[in-house]
Chains A and B, each alone.
Chain A
């Protein structure tokens, strides 16, 4: 069956450093979404990617969908303390709504 991995599980960075999280699937994804969950909060929608090779930017955040639509990444440039939280990808896995395991980002001021 389909396997999707979100890596890394944790990331500790100094404020100002960059951060990247990846979702990698063994099979083609029709589309993928990214959410952010602040500590103690609920997930908040960030972006949806649909097209092969798609790249979308939101200020310091860059989202990519791989050419084969098996991989996606979220990159944050020059992290700030407001970026703290867990970032999840969401996709259809085996025809079921599935969230990735998440990458927890902590910032060292």
Chain B
């Protein structure tokens, strides 16, 4: 079946512009996650959606970052007034069920969107 897809695969934008990144999770997966990975670095958690629950936004680095998810389908990550330090690969992942009580679940990652802010 289809995996997690993300678009665009690459995005070059000028400093100060807004960008919108899209993620289509695996059908039927109730949980969706966004991560940021700077070049040569590890994955930094940004936000987590689970069903109709309020999203866990604890990883968003500033109020310039926001994300939405429509039901249990597509999600968009928006970065306003982009800065050069926002340059990174933004990875989306989905899982069949959500994490609860500290229980991890297998996450399926998309190919990522490489964002370059000039």
Contacts and interface: CB of A to CB of B under 8 A. Distances in A.
| Co-complex (A, B) | yes
Interface of A: 30-33, 41-45, 48, 88, 90-92, 95-102
Contacts of B58: 96
Contact of B42 (A42, A44, A101): A101
Interface in B96-115: 99, 101-104, 106-112
SS of B interface (majority): loop
Contact of A100 (B42, B91, B106, B111): B42
A45 B108 CA distance: 7
B59 interface: yes
B65 interface: no
Contacts, number: 54
B99 A97 contact: yes
A18 to B, nearest CB: 24
SS of A interface (majority): strand
A92 B107 CA distance: 14
A43 B43 contact: yes
